[in-house]
Amino acid sequence: MVDELATLVPLAPEFAVIGAALLILVIDTFSREKHGAVALVVAFTGVAVAFVATLFHLAEGTDALLFHDTIVVDGFALFFNAAVLIATVLVLVSSTEYIEKFCPERRENLTEFAVLVLFAASGMLLMASSRSLVTAFIALELAALPSYALVAFAKDDKAGIEGAMKYFLLGALTSAVFLYGISLVYGATGAFDFVGIADALTGADGDVFGLAGLGVLLILVGLGFKIAAFPFHVWAPDAYTGAPTPVAAFLSSASKIAGFVLLFRLFTVAFPTQLDWLLAIQILAVATMTYGNFAAAVQSSVKRMLAYSSIGHAGYVLIALAVFTGADADSAFALGAGMSHLFIYALMNTGAFLVVALVDDYWGVGYTFEDYAGIARQAPVIGVAMAVFMFSLAGLPTGAGFLSKLAVFAGAVNSGFWWLAVLGGINSALSLYYYTRVLKWMWVEEPEGATPELEGKPVGIYAAILVAAVGTVVLLFAFDPVLSTATEAAESLLGV
Amino acid sequence: MRWITLLVVLPLVAAAATLVASKFDREYAKYVAFVGSLLPLGVSVYVWQVPFDRAANALTHPDEAQLVERVPWFEIAGYEVEYFVALDGVSMPLVLLTTLLVSAAIMSAWNAIDDAQASFYALVLFLEAALIGVFVALDFFLFYVFWEAVLIPMYFLIAVWGGPRRKYAAMKFFVYTNVASLIMFIGVVALYFNIGGPGVADLSMPSLTQAIAEGHLTGAFGLSADALRLAAFAALFIGFAVKVPVVPFHTWLPDAHVEAPTPVSVILAGVLLKMGTYALLRFNFTMLPETAAALAAPIALVGVVSVIYGALLAMAQTDLKRIVAYSSISSMGYVVVGLVAYTQYAVGGATFQMVSHGLISGLMFMVVGVVYHETHTREVGEISGLAHRAPLVAGVFVAAAFAYMGLPGMSGFPAELFVFMGGMASATIPYAPVVVAAAMFGIVLVAGYLLFAMQRTLFGEFRVGRADAATDGGEGVTDASLSEAVPMLVLLAAILALGIQPDIAYDMIEASTASVAELVEGGV
């Protein structure tokens, strides 16, 4: 018994998060008054424990197979766990004040908010550890269902309902497509676990390949939805805009990262490149970053701009998979670069969304670029933080986003796909246009008419923004741990 | 003593001090910033005079690089990225130029900048740190960090304190140069990743230079080694040519210059453009000399076209600032011609020209700034007889114009003379004498438009405003104030000193540039 429990130690992060969620539910059931604060403290503690456990396993170099090899805890999963947990904690910290101000009628339900976030997060953690298509599907649904509810959390807000509806309908549809893809792959290979699929496919003949190839394509559609890659992105801008902004930050950071980890593991381990999925990923990468950038450039709402910019970033990260050439050092480096970009992205993208949460909703300034006029002069700390996020997202050296994006491009060049790096570079340079547009309004332009009153300095939101900003800057100088951990994880995943 | 780190950090400390001081009294900002900018100036002069020894090129002779500091930073794909800085005869003069011009620009801003002074000075000092970093970095990644870091303060300096079309100009500058930077990045990375043989262990520029010189570059992407070299050369050339800028990549420059406030124009023309020519010298002409020599004809053509076309564009302008802006394109063309000639004098002269043009164009923009500050116009047709009211400004204007024309006794003369002398003897440029003669024709054009502008604005009846206006509109016009006059006179003194005794600068440049000229057969 004890021995069996001991084998579960590698899953400590998942247990911490799920345990916190269940504990909150229990407390909520037995307490007469609703204590949102207590729920958040428990949630925060659970995530913090999970984060520490993740770091511990990373340092230990844990590599374990559990539950009949359907779940794997390795450096690859743990690295992504860390990124997901960081985004989760930032969202939790900022949500109390946000909900109280933005939708006071839902104050009573803060416990539900925390529980939903935690369940979604546990689903994301399990996505990173899935080693079988069935586990992957269950984890994906576990992450998705709470997310739908979170988008509609402000239930009197029409935009939120609309966004959640779109998200749910398309999500349900792509889940079905994903499941169908799984059944085709299973039919072709007779295996659910990733390694088994790869074994069955090596040396298989043409018919099996055709069936499996179709399945892979359908699975790609399902994951493309999750990471909001063009053309499966249509839900994203509406869901992000309609959702409470911390939820948008959560979806565009943590949820996207979880989609990527599954995509990376599944495609590099289970599906041999002979299935020709590489071309599909390349097309997806180019289309996603180009579309995301051009769409972001024409937005008039800052939040929508960030929504599209997060689509653009999915395109950059897809480059890391698009240059996959097999289990070799070049591919491992490219993959590691993509992983480190996702990690940094979790910080800077969450931070940027939280600035929007603060300015748009908490201060109620308005959602267009014009409404941001003069904000930075009144709240210079927020202005500087936003400058850090925007320039770092655009790939200028105010933060580690600069290095991680360059690492992605360098990885592409290294693997021989210089044209993907060139396209990524041009996209990245054009993205300066819309990122600096925010800063232009915040710092340069004078507001028309009266300067908006900025009431209150919410401690939680400020703290989350500052943590994200400082983290982004510090990692510019201390980039080595991130990149080397990511590269090592990718190497061990590919068995280089 | 980590002198170079000190040089990079001091401006940042000064920037922080400026921001803090302005909390007590907003008038403090300008003084703290100025004194703060004197510190790196002092350190750079000290370094030049004391620990710095006239050095061979840091890329071709890495052992002789001066004041080296190396600290590991992170590892990427098995390559060590380092904080690796050093000085040699190419970077030292440019560091001195940077520190001098920034101090001068800050003082000249005392009158010109009223709005949000503390932020302005802090950004200028931040810019200085990044610029020094560009010139001292010998690790490619570090170089690229500084290279891109320059854009951030520059964007805000133009976008916040610039003229009416400042937002458009800042954005154009930003996107234009960033596209170029990324293309350049991909070109350099392609070189690093395709070094065969023993390979390189780090991303330092000397290692890459050595490895390419020893012929370890392999083919990749279905290209042969030579084709890859050519492709990388093209990517680098485009990347840096935008910054220089050479025709046809120059269109961001007039916009940025015209909209930028005077002190920023001084730094933009004086130092930022040199980043482009510095990088061309470091990367294209030192790392890939064979390719550069093989492409000498088209590159020289680009240089000559920049000289002539830039001058012709300057001629067509009526705005004083635009005239100076376009003439910078023309002057940078000489640098390109000098570099590609691959003779000792030509490459040395090109480097000398970088310093000389930095001083002269900085001075020129200051003069134009003062004229604009006094008269509120920069239209040549709307100013006349300024010499009567502002004799000092007029005198400096004349001196700067003469320096631009390359009159003996001014720094422009030895610079251009070296380039022409070296260029004539070039073994790389086909029909070198003809090509150089064509470039020399640019001087005639410079003389043309500068004399024209000078004559109309300085001499004749005193008048400000349109010729048919009822009054002269210039009652308030006075001569330069002290804080405007001092930086102008200091720059003028530097120009004269370099004109009379070019060895002050050429002595430190010579050895480093000679090693570049030797890379190509027939370099003298």
Which chain B residues are Cβ-neighbours of A418 within 8 angstroms? 186, 190, 221
As a three-state string, the secondary structure of B466-493 is: CCCCCCCCCCCCCCCCHHHHHHHHHHHH
Best mutation target among A408, A432, A437 (most B Cβ atoms within 10 Å) is A432
Best mutation target among A339, A396, A442 (most B Cβ atoms within 10 Å) is A396
Distance CA A297, CA B285 (A): 38
Closest to A85 measured CA to CA, from A347, A321, A340: A347
Distance CA B479, CA B495 (A): 22
| Half-sphere exposure of residue B179: CA atoms within 13 angstroms, side-chain side | 16
- At A378-412, the pLDDT tens digits run 888 999 999 999 999 998 888 899 999 999 999 99
- At B235-291, the pLDDT tens digits run 999 999 998 888 888 888 888 888 888 899 999 999 999 999 999 999 999 999 989
Residues of chain B with pLDDT under 50: 524
Distance CA A31, CA A24 (A): 10
Query: Is residue B75 less than 8 Å (CB to CB) from chain A?
Result: yes
To which residue do tokens 């839902």 refer?
A: A106
> Which residue of chain B is at minimal alpha-carbon distance from A374?
B160
A314 and A227 in contact (C-beta within 8 Å)?
Answer: yes
To which residue do tokens 């059931």 refer?
A: A29
Distance CA B277, CA B369 (A): 26
Instruction: Say what the ipTM of the complex is.
Output: 0.85
Of A409, A416, A436, the CB nearest to B185: A409
Residue B470's pLDDT is 52
Closest to B401 measured CA to CA, from B371, B434, B369, B363: B363
- Cβ B182–A432 below 8 Å, yes or no? no
> Which residue of chain B is at minimal alpha-carbon distance from A335?
B77
Distance CA B229, CA B213 (A): 12
CA A116 to chain B, closest CA, distance in angstroms equals 38
CA A310 to chain B, closest CA, distance in angstroms equals 20
Best mutation target among B19, B76, B185, B202 (most A Cβ atoms within 10 Å) is B76
- Cβ B149–A397 below 8 Å, yes or no? yes
Residue B428's pLDDT is 86
Query: Is residue B77 less than 8 Å (CB to CB) from chain A?
Result: yes
Which chain B residues are Cβ-neighbours of A391 within 8 angstroms? 152
- Cβ B186–A483 below 8 Å, yes or no? no
Distance CA B129, CA B253 (A): 22
Query: Is residue B9 less than 8 Å (CB to CB) from chain A?
Result: no
Token digits of residue B29: 């900002």
- Cβ B193–A410 below 8 Å, yes or no? yes
Distance CA B239, CA B179 (A): 8
Beta bridge partners of residue B79, listed in sequence order: B76
B104 and B266 in contact (C-beta within 8 Å)?
Answer: yes
- Cβ A416–B220 below 8 Å, yes or no? yes
As a three-state string, the secondary structure of chain A is: CHHHHHHCHHHHHHHHHHHHHHHHHHHHHHCCCCCHHHHHHHHHHHHHHHHHHHHHHHHHCCCEEECCCCEEECHHHHHHHHHHHHHHHHHHHHHHHHHHHHCHHHHHHHHHHHHHHHHHHHHHHHHHHECEHHHHHHHHHHHHHHHHHHHCCCCCCHHHHHHHHHHHHHHHHHHHHHHHHHHHHHHHHCCCEHHHHHHHHCCCCHHHHHHHHHHHHHHHHHHHHHCCCCCCCCHHHHHHHHCCHHHHHHHHHHHHHHHHHHHHHHHHHHCCHHHCHHHHHHHHHHHHHHHHHHHHHCCCEHHHHHHHHHHHHHHHHHHHHHCCCCCCHHHHHHHHHHHHHHHHHHHHHHHHHHHHHHHHHHCCCCCECHHHCCHHHHCHHHHHHHHHHHHHHHCCCCCCHHHHHHHHHHHHHHCCCHHHHHHHHHHHHHHHHHHHHHHHHHHHCCCCCCCCCCCCCCHHHHHHHHHHHHHHHHHHHCHHHHHHHHHHHHHHHHCC
> How far, in Å, are A458, B5, B98 from residue B329 at the CA level?
52, 32, 19
Distance CA A347, CA A351 (A): 6
DSSP state of B382: G
CA A386 to chain B, closest CA, distance in angstroms equals 13
Burial class for A100, CB neighbours closer than 10 Å (0-12, 13-18, 19+): middle
Query: Is residue B23 less than 8 Å (CB to CB) from chain A?
Result: no
Closest to B423 measured CA to CA, from B411, B440, B405, B445: B440
Best mutation target among B183, B189, B202, B252 (most A Cβ atoms within 10 Å) is B189
Distance CA B419, CA B328 (A): 16
Distance CA A263, CA A321 (A): 9
Determine the residue type at A54.
T
Question: Where are the domains positioned within chain B?
Answer: 3-517
Helix (H) or strand (E) holding B73: strand B66-76
> Which residue of chain B is at minimal alpha-carbon distance from A491?
B77
Best mutation target among A444, A480, A483, A488 (most B Cβ atoms within 10 Å) is A444
Cβ burial A110-136 (10 Å sphere, 16+ → b, else e): bbbbbbbbbbbbbbbbbbbbbbbbebb
CA A445 to chain B, closest CA, distance in angstroms equals 8
Distance CA A21, CA A7 (A): 22
- Cβ B171–A436 below 8 Å, yes or no? yes
| B197 Ramachandran zone, left/alpha/beta (phi>0; psi -120 to 50) | left
- At A29-78, the pLDDT tens digits run 888 776 677 888 899 999 999 999 999 988 888 888 888 888 888 888 99
Of A333, A403, A413, the CB nearest to B189: A413
B266 three-class SS: helix
Which chain A residues are Cβ-neighbours of B145 within 8 angstroms? 397, 402
Residues of chain A with pLDDT under 70: 1, 34-35
Best mutation target among B182, B236, B243 (most A Cβ atoms within 10 Å) is B182
As a three-state string, the secondary structure of A459-477 is: HHHHHHHHHHHHHHHHHHH
CA A417 to chain B, closest CA, distance in angstroms equals 8
Residue A247's pLDDT is 92
- Cβ A443–B160 below 8 Å, yes or no? yes
Query: Is residue B16 less than 8 Å (CB to CB) from chain A?
Result: no
Distance CA B373, CA B379 (A): 13
Residue B522's pLDDT is 58
B463 three-class SS: strand
Distance CA A394, CA A388 (A): 10
Beta bridge partners of residue A193, listed in sequence order: A132
Question: Residue B430's CB: how many other CB atoms inside 10 A?
Answer: 11
Distance CA B423, CA B292 (A): 15
Residue B27's pLDDT is 85
Burial class for A454, CB neighbours closer than 10 Å (0-12, 13-18, 19+): middle
Query: Is residue B126 less than 8 Å (CB to CB) from chain A?
Result: no
Token digits of residue A465: 């923004």
Residues of A contacting chain B (CB within 8 angstroms): 329-330, 333, 391, 395-398, 402-403, 406-407, 409-411, 413-414, 416, 418, 421-422, 425-426, 428-430, 432-433, 436, 440, 443-444, 477, 479-480, 483-484, 487
Distance CA A282, CA A322 (A): 5
To which residue do tokens 């920037």 refer?
A: B15
Token digits of residue B43: 């350190």
For A5, residues 6+ apart whose C-beta sits below 8 A from its C-beta are none
To which residue do tokens 């992983």 refer?
A: A339
> Which residue of chain B is at minimal alpha-carbon distance from A422?
B183
Token digits of residue A234: 């249509």
Peptide bond preceding B206 in cis form (omega within 30 of 0) = no
Query: Is residue B158 less than 8 Å (CB to CB) from chain A?
Result: no
Cβ burial B328-346 (10 Å sphere, 16+ → b, else e): bbbbbbbbbbbbbbbbbbb
Residue A133's pLDDT is 92
- At A342-366, the pLDDT tens digits run 999 999 999 999 999 988 888 888 8
Instruction: Give the pairing of strands A71-73 and B66-76.
Output: unpaired
For B50, residues 6+ apart whose C-beta sits below 8 A from its C-beta are none
A410 and B189 in contact (C-beta within 8 Å)?
Answer: yes
Which chain A residues are Cβ-neighbours of B190 within 8 angstroms? 413, 418
- Cβ B77–A410 below 8 Å, yes or no? yes
Residue A338's pLDDT is 93
